[in-house]
Structure 1
Amino acid sequence: MSQKTAKTWSLRLLPFLLSFISFVMYYCSYSILQSYGGTSKSPNSSKALCGGWLTQKKWESLNFNSSRQTQLFLRLKDFFWQEHLSKLPLPYGVKGSEFLLLKVLAITANYQMPANLENLECRTCVVIGNGFVIKNSSLGDIINKYDVVIRLNDAPVKGYEEDVGNKTTMRFFYPESASYNPGLQNEPDTLMVLVPFKMHDLRWLKEILYNEKRVRKGFWKPPPQIWLGDVSKIRVLDPHFLHQTADKLLHLLPPKGKQTPVHPTTGLLSIFVALNYCDVVHVAGFGYPSAKNHRQPIHYYGRETMKSMKNSYHDLNHEAKALKRLEESGAILYLHPHL
């Protein structure tokens, strides 16, 4: 066989090889999950799926055409003594928000994940959505055993521990979804990760940190005027991740014409962040009822239904398809049955 022919066959076989690798990883991950489901065994068994080569191949199979980024948060040195070269404004860049970021990052002064997580050779992560589907799942004990547990917005933990656990490594939020006292539903070492969708979000945090007069305009829902978060636990998520979620995962960029802007949900964003930072990514609590179902609650807490999503800036059907692609590729694994 000539060298040219061999190269041609290699290129033809490459997609099948990547598909086979994804299938094996998904099957092994599913088998491991089943082995400890409902028992006291640890999801650390999933570390058998870890390794730089496997993680990199899994990432490459997603065809994002970009490198994984494990530095999650904005740092003061990204702005101090140098001009930040972002070409986009929030939510996909920081253009026009540099001064606010300088003020915020100078006070928070912490830009890393905890050292015990940074030093792990393999990080197992679970992203907990707020969907009704996790109710009565009894997944709490399993969730608590992951290295990293990511939660969203103001979703409560107390009173729901049996289903959602009580460990929280990071909580992604924005001002309108903030709880005035994060200590009530989080652990003392939980990182509170601000997702800045607009300049007003950074201004809100600056006013909190510097105890300045609060400006109430610019929010679709009044954010807390008093916020008791631990300054040392505050982080600001790099807008790179929201941009990549919108661009690579949802293909929303650039926006078409003058249509109403559509942005990723905090949940899908968190999954994309986990794919960058973690070696094993599992999810729970994702999924919405049918838009025609006006009675079933959309969250495992509260009574809100799909009516509350009527004027949302999110395309839930589009996101559901993206999640399905991630699941089929073996990039994520659900901890419970789902549609």
Structure 2
Amino acid sequence: MKFKMRALIFLLCVTTICVSWRGYMSFSLPQNKRPCACERCLSEDDPWFMKHFNKSVEPFLSANYNISEDIFNWWKPLQGAKGNFSTFRRKVERLFLMVPPSPEVLESSPDRCRTCAVVGNSGNLRKSHYGPLIDFHDVIIRVNAGQIKGYEADVGTRTTHRVMYPESSVDLDNTTHFVLAPFKTVDFDWLTGALTTGFNGGPHWGVRSKIKANKHLVMVLNPSFMRYVHDMWLEKKGDYPSTGFLALILALHMCDEVSVFGYGADSDGNWSHYWEELMNKKLKTGAHPGDTEYRMIQELDEQQKLNFYTGF
């Protein structure tokens, strides 16, 4: 117990020092020469990082943005989407009649340092006591059904964005952005229905008919962004990126400083969730290239492009 308290105090002290140093750096350097007010800005040129990072890729769909048919043809087989390109576009247009036509994103600025915490669902979060450190960030991105109640000391209490797909959806409070990760055309129909009168997708699709979420805070990941993550960050390994890895790369596009928690296997080597007992001890990552994703997170940490907290 004493070790845990010392570790927590150490983490908070390090965070305070980093914030103070960030403030000093932002004061001492000419702001018009730097893209952000952090000690180090992600968008600053770095050959290794820029080999993967493409700032011009739009992370979110909007009412005025149309993906190419080439992107659609890559995206369609991921989970067996029905319909053609025209059908896809009609469903997207219908959704944007209900949700904001363009995403609400905090833009970079020389006098601002945007900090992100990306909270995965790994069992390595148990007894980590990362909660206060996670809550310290400006933007806190959670993934799928990651739970908070009862785990506050380890995972924090705040959420600004939650990245989900229909099968993993949970109710959200009125201040949290619902970031839809669409893997098939019917996902757009589901969101339109689930936020209004209810969705009936038949007895064989196990999703909730309705969810609680603020429709004015809905954001939709761009299939072009999903392909970019798969091609540039994962070098086309696996069928497609996991929701968690999409959330992590999204943070690199939304923030100037990124901290990552709750990714990777637990201490026993199992890909488990921190809130539930793992029944299948041979559980792997399926279509997602879990090992490749984990190695990339480690490399980003080694290159000092994010801070990776692996748990105690």
TM-score, normalization: structure 1?
0.72
**208-217 or 103-112, which deviates more:** 208-217
Q: 2:80 aligns to what?
A: none
Q: Distance in 2 between matches of 1:110 and 1:118?
A: 21
Q: 2:91 aligns to what?
A: 100
Q: 2:233 aligns to what?
A: 249
Mapping for residues 323-338 of structure 1, pairs under 5 Å: 323-337=297-311
CA contact (8 A) 1:129 1:152 kept: yes
Q: Distance in 2 between matches of 1:66 and 1:285?
A: 23
Report deviation, 1:72.
Answer: 3.5
C-alpha spacing 1:65/1:314, structure 2 compared with 1 (3 Å): closer
Q: Do structure 1's residue 281 and structure 2's residue 258 form an aligned pair? A: yes
Select which of 197, 204, 220 maps to 1:211. Answer: 197
User: 1:246-286 CA deviation, whole Å, 9 max, x = no partner?
Assistant: 00011117xxxxxxx62111111111111112111110111
User: 1:132-168 CA deviation, whole Å, 9 max, x = no partner?
Assistant: 1111111111111111111000111111111111111
Q: Do structure 1's residue 299 and structure 2's residue 273 form an aligned pair? A: yes
Mapping for residues 60-209 of structure 1, pairs under 5 Å: 60-64=47-51, 67-69=54-56, 72-79=59-66, 84-89=67-72, 92=75, 95-96=85-86, 97-113=88-104, 121-179=112-170, 181-183=171-173, 188-209=174-195
Q: Distance in 2 between matches of 1:98 and 1:129?
A: 31
Report deviation, 1:104.
Answer: 0.5
Q: 2:293 aligns to what?
A: 319
Query: 1:201 aligns to what SS in structure 2?
Result: helix
Select which of 224, 229, 240 maps to 2:224. Answer: 240
Q: Distance in 1 between matches of 2:290 and 2:279?
A: 14
Q: Distance in 1 between matches of 2:17 and 2:189?
A: 42
Query: 2:54 aligns to what SS in structure 1?
Result: coil
CA contact (8 A) 2:105 2:254 kept: no
> What letter is aligned with 1:208?
A
C-alpha spacing 1:297/1:249, structure 2 compared with 1 (3 Å): closer
**156-165 or 324-333, which deviates more:** 324-333
Q: 1:18 aligns to what?
A: none
Q: Distance in 2 between matches of 1:213 and 1:131?
A: 31
Report deviation, 1:240.
Answer: 2.4
C-alpha spacing 1:64/1:240, structure 2 compared with 1 (3 Å): farther
Q: Which runs of 5+ in 2 are unaligned?
A: 1-6, 27-33, 77-83
Q: Distance in 1 between matches of 2:289 and 2:234?
A: 9
> What letter is aligned with 2:72?
P
Q: Distance in 1 between matches of 2:167 and 2:188?
A: 12
Select which of 13, 16, 27 maps to 1:41. Answer: 16
Larger Rg: 1
Query: 1:302 aligns to what SS in structure 2?
Result: coil
**46-55 or 317-326, which deviates more:** 46-55
Q: Which runs of 5+ in 1 are unaligned?
A: 1-32, 254-260
Q: 2:44 aligns to what?
A: 57
CA contact (8 A) 1:42 1:142 kept: no
Corresponding pairs, count: 284
C-alpha spacing 1:61/1:298, structure 2 compared with 1 (3 Å): same
TM-score, normalization: structure 2?
0.78
Report deviation, 1:232.
Answer: 1.1
The root-mean-square deviation of aligned C-alpha atoms, in Å, is 3.3
> What letter is aligned with 1:62?
F
Q: 2:81 aligns to what?
A: none
> What letter is aligned with 1:321?
R
Report deviation, 1:100.
Answer: 0.6
